[in-house]
């Protein structure tokens, strides 16, 4: 006969194994998407020089946006993302790690600040304007780029501004 301790141990072991098996698909999906948040300085610094050129910055950003579009992920903050020149505070034509990190922090802070307005409280639901657009929503001709006309059309539809 088994003791009550052995039976309890066996039950706990079975439950633990079942939980682990149930969690496997979720872990695999999380690894598939990779980390969220802004790319690290090392991801931008493709040549390992310790500085990020405008070409490296634009290439990294474009690759990230293309990957997000392919995955159908939301493009949060894309419309307000700072340009290279906004981050290059010393004007030397390249970004050091401090400039990039400071710019990323400022952008995240401005995004958080924008979410404190009317309509972001419980019970308001996902009304018009609450769902962030994905890349394909803006890339109307499907060429992998969002030009000024496509962006203006999106702004007009979303905010009622006149399309030019």
Quick one: 95 and 151 in the same domain? no
Return per-residue pLDDT of the chain as tens, 164 residues. Answer: 678 899 999 999 999 999 999 998 877 766 555 556 788 999 999 999 999 999 999 999 999 888 888 888 777 777 788 899 999 999 999 999 999 999 999 888 888 876 644 445 454 445 555 567 778 888 888 888 888 888 888 888 877 655 55
User: CATH number of the domain that 47 lies in?
Assistant: 1.10.238
Quick one: 43 and 86 in the same domain? yes
* Integer angstrom CA distances of residue 78 from 26, 98, 127, 128, 146: 27, 21, 20, 19, 11
Residue 28 lies in a domain: yes
Rounded to whole angstroms, how far apart are CA atoms 76 and 69?
12
Q: What is the pLDDT of residue 32?
A: 53
Quick one: 47 and 99 in the same domain? yes
Rounded to whole angstroms, how far apart are CA atoms 111 and 75?
12
3 state DSSP class of 13: helix
The count of domains in the chain is 3
Reported pTM: 0.51
Q: Using an 8 Å Cβ cutoff, are 150 and 142 in contact?
A: no
Q: The domain containing residue 24 runs over which residues?
A: 1-34
């Amino acid at each position: 006969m088994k003791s009550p301790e052995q039976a309890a141990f066996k039950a706990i072991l079975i439950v633990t194994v079942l939980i682990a098996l149930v969690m496997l698909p979720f872990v695999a999906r999380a690894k598939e998407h990779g980390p969220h948040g802004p790319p690290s300085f090392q991801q931008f610094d493709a040549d390992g020089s310790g500085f990020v050129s405008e070409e490296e910055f634009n290439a990294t950003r474009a690759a990230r946006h293309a990957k997000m579009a392919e995955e159908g992920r939301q493009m949060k903050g894309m419309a307000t993302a700072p340009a290279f020149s906004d981050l290059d505070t010393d004007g030397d034509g390249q970004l050091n790690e401090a400039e990039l990190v400071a710019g990323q922090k400022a952008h995240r802070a401005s995004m958080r600040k924008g979410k404190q307005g009317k309509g972001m409280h419980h019970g308001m639901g996902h009304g018009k304007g609450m769902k962030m657009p994905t890349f394909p929503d803006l890339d109307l001709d499907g060429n992998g780029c969002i030009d000024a006309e496509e962006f203006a059309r999106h702004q007009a539809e979303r905010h009622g501004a006149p399309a030019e």
